[in-house]
Amino acid sequence: MRARPRKKILAISSGGGHWIELLRLRPAFEGHFVVYATVSEAYRAHVGDAPLVVIDDVTRWDRVGLVRSALQITRLLLAERPDIVVSTGALPGFFGVVLGKRLGAKTIWVDSLANVEELSLSGEKVGPHADLWLTQWEELAYPGGPRYAGSVID
């Protein structure tokens, strides 16, 4: 059997719960080269020797911030050229997936566990741009929508 080819993964999220959920997916990235992008320098301590790029945090109400964030993520994608983009949200991750897909990456969106009764707004809109679109709640999966494969909590 030939060894699995090593891929370059951009794992991107905002802070707090989104970041913790992303970290809990790490075993899936084993054997690949991972670049993390998140909103705080201090999270570097969580990823050991892996490279971490600090990006701006942004909410959907901050129009100037949205444009700036989209440009920043575009620059990041052009600099890193990942094979895979994976995100647990929120907006910076949404940009990572949407723009990453345009630049030829395969994209993974895992909607946050916090979205219990409905998908997040970014989660609803990200669907067509995610090659693997996952919800963590079985009842939120639907044909043509996100798939359920389990959650970040065991």
Partner 1 sequence: MRLLVTVGAQMPFDRLIRAVDAWAGAHPGHAIRAQVGETELTPAHLDAVPFLQPAAFDRAYDEADAVIGHAGIGTLFAAMERGKPILVLPREARRRETRNDHQIATARRFVSRPGVVVAWSEDEVPAAMERLLSLRGAPSLSARAEGPLIDAIARFIDRS
Return residues touching partner 1 (CB under 8 A). 4, 7, 9, 15-21, 23-30, 32, 40, 42-43, 45-46, 83-84, 86, 106, 108, 110, 112-117, 131-132, 134, 136, 147, 149-154
For the CB of residue 91, give the shortest distance to partner 1 in the complex, in Å. Answer: 13
What lies within 8 Å, CB to CB, of 87 at 6+ separation is: 11, 12, 13, 22, 93, 94, 96, 97, 108, 109, 110
| For partner 1, the closer CB: 23 or 70 | 23
| For partner 1, the closer CB: 24 or 74 | 24
63-80 and 91-102 helices, crossing angle to 10°: 50
For the CB of residue 96, give the shortest distance to partner 1 in the complex, in Å. Answer: 15
For the CB of residue 19, give the shortest distance to partner 1 in the complex, in Å. Answer: 7
Backbone Cα Rg of the chain: 15
What lies within 8 Å, CB to CB, of 58 at 6+ separation is: 65, 66, 68, 69, 91, 92
For the CB of residue 44, give the shortest distance to partner 1 in the complex, in Å. Answer: 9
